[in-house]
Amino acid sequence: MNAKEFEMLYGPCHEAGGMTAYEWERDPKRLGFILARYKFVSKMLEGYGRVLEVGCADGFGSRVVAQTVGKLVAVDLDEESIEEAKRVAYSPWPVDFRVHDLTESPFPETFNAAYCLDVLEHIDPIVDEQSFLEHLRACAPVAIIGMPSLESQPYASELSAQGHINCKTGPQLRATLLRHWQHVFLFGMNDETLHTGFSPMCQYRLAVCT
């Protein structure tokens, strides 16, 4: 199928959202790391009927998960991000984008699984973390949570470090999540490589909670 035939079937392909475009201009290789995290989620949740993504931003990675699940609802508390996600979405990978703040209330529907990538590190550990995780658990019995490691923060960019107010070590993340789920399985990532190696050397952590 050539580009013209594709456009006749599905409409024009849209450009990336602003956040993704910024990464493409600033540090293109980082998009590979982001997509690797979404691919992990897509493999773990393959075949699940209803899945919730929390903190989808411009929806760049959402369609990776949409390939493998029955229905994907993706939320973000920022209305402009959701509008942008809707603008750049297109029909081969349907995602239901909505505005919702999970620190304020659970989502008013239930799901088979939920996930959030690069969200928890931005949530105040004293004010909002407890309610956020309670509301996430209320939405789904299975969750995947991804965040930068505390050990990686000395190497974070100045812009990233300003927003990373809640990074954790592996034991801290496990202990936090075990307050809400019965089982927590921790994986590490360095760039796009997933592993179960020495926790303090991880740049990024992915927790599968059941």
For the chain, list the domains and their CATH numbers: 15-209 (3.40.50.150)
Task: Categorize the per-residue pLDDT at 2 as very low, low, confident or very high, splitting at 50, 70 and 90.
Answer: very low
User: pLDDT per residue over 6-38, tens digit each?
Assistant: 455 555 555 666 666 666 677 788 788 999 999
Task: Categorize the per-residue pLDDT at 86 as very low, low, confident or very high, splitting at 50, 70 and 90.
Answer: very high
Contact 45, 113 (CB under 8 A): yes
Give exposure, 166-186, as e/b (b: 16+ Cβ within 10 Å).
bbbebeebbebbeebbeebeb
pLDDT at 16: 63
| pLDDT mean over 77-83 | 96
Task: Categorize the per-residue pLDDT at 159 as very low, low, confident or very high, splitting at 50, 70 and 90.
Answer: confident
User: pLDDT per residue over 36-68, tens digit each?
Assistant: 999 999 999 999 999 999 999 999 999 999 999
- What DSSP state is assigned to residue 66? H
Contact 143, 181 (CB under 8 A): yes
Please tell me which residue, 81 or 7, carries the higher pLDDT value.
81
